[in-house]
Amino acid sequence: MDAFGLALGLVLNFETLATILLAAMFGLFVGAIPGLTATMATALLVPITFYMAPIPAIAAIISCTAMAITAGDLPGTLLRIPGTPASAAYVEDSYRMAQNGQAGMAIGIGVIGSVLGGLFGFVFLLFAAPALAKAALGFSSFEYFWLAVLGLSCAALISSGGLAKGALALLLGLFISQVGLDPLTATPRFTFGLTELFGGISFIPTMIGMFAVGEVMRAGRRAMAEVPQMNLKNPFKGTLAVLWKYRVNQVRGSVIGSLLGALPGVGGDLAAWITYSLAKRTSKTPEKFGKGHPEGLVEAGATNNAALSASWIPAMVFGIPGDAVTAIAVGVLVMKGLDPGPTLMTNNPQNFYAVMIVFAIANILMLPLGYLAAKTARWIFEVPRALLNAAILLFCIVGSYSINNSMFGVYVMLIMGVLAFFLEARSIAIAPIILGIVLGPLVESNFTTSMIIADGNFMGFFGRPVAAVLGVATLLIWTLAIGGSLYRTARQRRALTP
Amino acid sequence: MKSVIPMDSVLGVLFAAGGTAILINALGYAPIAGMVVGPGLFPTITGAGMALFGLILAVQGWLGRAAARAEPAEPLITLFAVGIVVAILVATLLMPMLGFLIAGTVFAAVIVLMSGGKWLSAIIFSPIATFAIYALFTYGFRVPLPRGLLG
């Protein structure tokens, strides 16, 4: 309890509170701009944290990330350019809702659902962190491998183009993630002699190209149709009623998000895909998913922020980041001498609790700032499409350049944009590609480690109880999906035969 | 009736060819001596999977060609899409020489005009937007954007 009191003192002072507010507004601004991501906002903030005390520094990262991720739902909802891989899971629904005049409600679900999910994750993990972390520590590469494959499978199988196209999108993402030096032997793979590719294909230019550039190219193809005026006069109107209607999804999304987010190396992206898939499979109206239905949006949105809160636990307790953002945060913790790891909980528990309190404040702050973001986002509609296109593309070029201060990122962005443009035109979803790129290294490293442990015997992947359950579940999902696809093809052939 | 190869089949064949190329390339990576794994193991699985699903897509496209022919065809490559790609490419090539402010202004003006905007909008908006982004990244985020001729 003493530690908690000390933690309150560390957070409830002018410097930390002002930092939280300013960083949240910065996150809101960057997150709401199409083509700029929460990861980029966090990375750009790191040099500024050099000049701060440890707790305000980490508070800046936390509040900026939480707000940027929530604000990232705005371009997703309004322009179909998701701010994060997690929001890509439900971008089709939120965008269609906006097209149907429910933009305010879609944003409201994202913001309020995220706040509730984030607070759930905070409360749950504040008390359950030690036990959950202990359980996650017991996981080996086998469990991580199956968990990641299960998530990737869900992403591929729920994509709109069908089984083969979903699988191809996923495999393309996995292939892109393999470009660069092999993590085991440092052998250059698929680099074609280009030294710029030795470090791999940067995720941010890829994401900007696939979602932003491809979208601008497509928008032009639709004869620059006017974006309909969305109902954003009263953001959040009717949101509570929808959240209450889908309260089971809200709670389930929060619980699963908290549990999956707490696993080192998993993070929120995978969790949102899993719960979106789960919501679709358990829904009474699965045919409405992807067409502007709020059910998946509620569940995956809650998961997103619950997992975001939870993903900081392994980063803090074990020093193992769950995603790019927490990886940056771990760097800041080390830089500030906080040394993330088990000793943080035993030697300096006030720092751990301070981070938890910052999380609670950042989540609560999302309500007023989310409302403000929704209101100010209207300019996106009111700016003529011609000006919007120019601004988006300029931001894309600068954003891709700023990752390594090199034009190579811009070339990557352009190639990926063209690729996405052609693939989407043939109903191949982009989101599984992005997820494949993000989780590819995790899948490969755990697969390689497991193969070494099992001495090449694939049955070894089922040798541990949890791994066996996850492995069988993954294989079962693929079997059912392939069986269903064959059945549908046979039925269509019969229907077409005179 | 003219015979048309379904686009899904073409795409499937392209993926199958790409997967095969990945597979062949991956098999060329030397495994670690005395171990079951190596740098080529995961790419081998990826390439094989891509080749397999590419073939499945090609067959599916062929079987469903009757339904595909009934769908209204939308032109895939438009002048606008090609223009965007060319504009980004030219801007990227010229930016190190001309600098972000000059190349960005011209690029933004071209995009505004290509997107159906008016000359006046392009002339007013492009320098303002370019300078605002330049100031934000250079002074706000400390990103050293190319200065080129203005350097």
Using CB atoms, pick whichever of A174, A386, A418 lies closest to residue B85: A418
Q: How far is B1 from chain A (nearest CA, A)?
A: 19
Across residues B53-78, what is the average pLDDT? 77
**Tokens at A415, concatenated:** 């190639």
The single residue listed with the structure tokens 């520094």 is: A57
pTM (2 decimals)? Answer: 0.72
Which residue in A242, A241, A245, A253 sits closest to A280, CA to CA?
A253
Go through chain A and tell me how many residues it has: 498
Q: What is the pLDDT of residue A462?
A: 92
**Mean pLDDT estimate for chain B:** 87
Cβ contact A171–B25 (<8 Å): no
Closest residue in A to B97 (Cα–Cα) = A407
Q: Are B117 and A386 in contact (CB under 8 A)?
A: yes
What is the H or E stretch that residue A135 is in? helix A103-137
Q: What is the pLDDT of residue A224?
A: 40
Q: Are A65 and A28 in contact (CB under 8 A)?
A: no
* d(C-alpha A252, C-alpha A116), whole Å: 12
Cβ contact A425–B60 (<8 Å): no
Chain B interface disruption, residue of A208, A383, A389, A400, most B CBs within 10 A: A389
The pLDDT confidence band at residue B70, using thresholds 50, 70 and 90, is: low
Cβ contact B67–A496 (<8 Å): yes
Q: Which of residues 396-455 of A touch B (CB under 8 A)?
A: 397-398, 401-402, 405, 407, 410-411, 414, 417-418, 421-422, 425-426, 428, 443-444, 447-448, 451-452, 455
- pLDDT tens, residue order, chain A (498 aa): 577 888 888 889 998 999 999 999 888 877 776 655 676 677 667 656 766 788 898 889 888 888 888 887 887 887 777 766 677 778 888 888 887 777 788 888 888 887 887 788 777 767 766 665 566 567 788 887 887 787 678 767 766 678 889 899 999 999 999 999 988 888 899 998 888 898 888 877 887 788 778 878 876 644 344 444 455 666 777 788 888 888 888 888 888 888 877 665 555 667 888 888 888 888 888 877 877 788 888 888 888 778 877 777 766 765 555 555 666 676 677 777 776 655 666 677 788 788 888 888 988 888 888 888 777 776 655 557 788 788 878 988 988 888 788 899 999 999 999 998 999 888 888 777 877 887 788 789 889 999 989 888 888 899 998 889 989 988 998 898 888 877 877 777 677 666
Torsion of CA A15, A16, A21, A26, to 10 degrees: 90
Closest residue in B to A456 (Cα–Cα) = B36
Q: Does A487 touch chain B (CB under 8 A)?
A: no
ipTM, two decimals, is 0.92
Q: Which of A293-302, B78-87, B122-131 comes out lowest in average pLDDT? A: A293-302
Using an 8 Å CB-CB cutoff, list chain B residues near A167.
Answer: 49, 53
Q: Which of residues 341-400 of A touch B (CB under 8 A)?
A: 384-387, 389-391, 393-395, 397-398
Residue B101's Cα: distance from chain center in Å? 25
The single residue listed with the structure tokens 């209101």 is: A375
Which residue in A42, A61, A63, A52 sits closest to A15, CA to CA?
A52
